[in-house]
Structure 1
Amino acid sequence: MCSNGWIRAHATYYGVNDSPASLGGACGYDNPYHAGFGAHTAALSGALFRNGESCGGCYQVRCDYWADPKWCLRGAAVTVTATNFCPSNNNGGWCNLPRHHFDMSMPAFFRIARRGNEGIVPVFYRRVGCKRRGGVRFTMRGQGNFNMVILSNVGGSGAVKAGAVRGSRGKTWRQMTRNWGANWQSSGDLRGQRLSFRVTLLDRKTMTFLNVVPSSWWFGQTFSGRGQFL
């Protein structure tokens, strides 16, 4: 680790058309724009991804100019959102444990590195807060009495630690568990009910979104809450 909380890592980039991270990937987001993240996204190595715990989190990345002045842009930095997992043995083993690595979108990578390079640069990174437009989004997934919701466009630390849901016919909160990535599941049939959610981030900040989903909801729909983490 360097001073001011910066940590050493490496970064590569993926192509626009052949990217495994351009759509949902291991976090489950349908696409980064619909999820509120825009073009600056990255797939994380296992040491950073942590089985999906980092999905939606934000990282400020800057190229290590003093280590690679040929390809790094001096003083440049970019903030990326974690949307996917970079598997081991990918990109020449750069994503293998215990390495810290970012496989970045092309627009993000070329904010910090010159074009024409070999495709990998040394970087520094640190966790930063996520700044989002609008409220937290809830995308309903599943079928029948199997309920799953994708939490996206989450501000603050960005990464969700725990969640709970409550239907309008009940008085108690049902704890949700991480199914995979940013997909959270709960038991019981919640169809035909207004739904409220309670979301807790990794930094333990918690918000409650009352009746954010109307009783007419159906699988595949996305609803936006009025509140947002800061």
Structure 2
Amino acid sequence: MAKTNVLLLSILFYLFVNVQSYVASRWARGHATFYGGSDASGTMGGACGYGDLYSAGYGTRTAALSSSLFNQGAACGQCYKIVCDRKADRRWCKRGSVTITATNFCPPRYDGAGGWCNPPLQHFDMAQPAWEKIAIYQAGIVPVIFKRVPCKRHGGVRFTVNGRDYFELVSITNVANAGSIRSVRVKGSRTGWTSMSNNWGANWQSNSYLNGQSISFMITTRDGVTRYFPNIVPSNWRFGQTFSSRIQF
């Protein structure tokens, strides 16, 4: 009972003390290109593991990030406000800005064919609909100024449970504010809390046997804010199902 009370107090502390929003970064300079077609169908999937970006809540305002920004997947889910630098290229830049979510990785190329995503360059390979908010299609590549900003999401955080017995691979999507996740803990209705390991992108792994149990999660985003998602997955869950919460960061 004492341990339960301590856990509840810890959860309340996280919920009511860690309520600050992510603070936007300073402006930086980089470049941007585009990919994926006019409907962004070619951007589905990707290195963050979000799968169908429409159903995951990210839509067509997404981008693949170069190595220096992607940070081996730590940037998955983060949001960036991008403005085409009209002072540097007035011919191809439009006025205004667009906010994108990082959903993919733009790999480096060392064969002499562009290399815009090679380190240490800060580059965004944007979904075409997002690109056309700030630049003219024919440009191909433009200079931009950008900053990381808080993510705005509709609805709560979502959990998709994949894998098999003794291996749960949970994709966590639609995370607001910081957007990216630092750590995840999981608890079945008949187990204690255990840490999940990051398998790849937004996919977190547990080797517990959680079949037939309701499942709770505790998530900490990369700005240090923690949220508790009690029994978000019901005991009759099946692999491949997605569960939406009402809780958000």
Aligned match of 2:102: 82
Distance 2:42 2:213 in 1: 34
Distance 2:130 2:38 in 1: 15
Query: What SS does structure 1 have at the residue aligned with 2:130?
Result: helix
Aligned match of 2:238: 218
Query: What SS does structure 2 have at the residue aligned with 1:5?
Result: coil
Asked if the contact 2:38/2:129 (under 8 Å) is kept, the reply is no
Shift in Å, 1:17: 7.6
Amino acid at match of 2:116: W
Aligned match of 2:211: 191
Shift in Å, 1:115: 2.7
Shift in Å, 1:199: 0.6
| Match runs of 1:200-219 below 5 Å | 200-219=220-239
Count of aligned pairs between the two proteins: 223
Amino acid at match of 1:154: V
Matched, 1:180 2:213: no
In structure 1, stretches of 5+ residues that fail to align are none
- 2:127 alignment partner, one of 102, 105, 116: 105
Distance 2:101 2:248 in 1: 17
- Could you list the per-position Cα deviations for residues 42-93 of structure 1 after superposition, in whole angstroms to 9, with x for gaps in the alignment? 000010111111111100010000000000113x110000000000018610
Shift in Å, 1:11: 0.2
Distance 1:11 1:22 in 2: 15
Question: Runs ≥4 in structure 1, deviation > 4 angstroms?
Answer: 17-21
Tell me which protein shows more helix as a share of its residues: 2
Amino acid at match of 2:51: D
Asked if the contact 1:64/1:124 (under 8 Å) is kept, the reply is yes
Shift in Å, 1:184: 0.4
Distance 1:155 1:65 in 2: 30
Identify the range of structure 1 (13-22 vs 82-91) with the bigger mean alpha-carbon deviation. Answer: 13-22
Aligned match of 2:144: 123
Asked if the contact 1:60/1:128 (under 8 Å) is kept, the reply is yes
User: Are the structure 2 counterparts of residues 184 and 58 from structure 1 closer, same or farther at C-alpha, using a change threshold of 3 Å?
Assistant: same
Aligned match of 1:59: 80
Cα root mean square deviation, aligned: 1.7
TM-score (norm 2): 0.86
Shift in Å, 1:116: 2.1
| Match runs of 1:11-50 below 5 Å | 11-16=32-37, 22-50=43-71
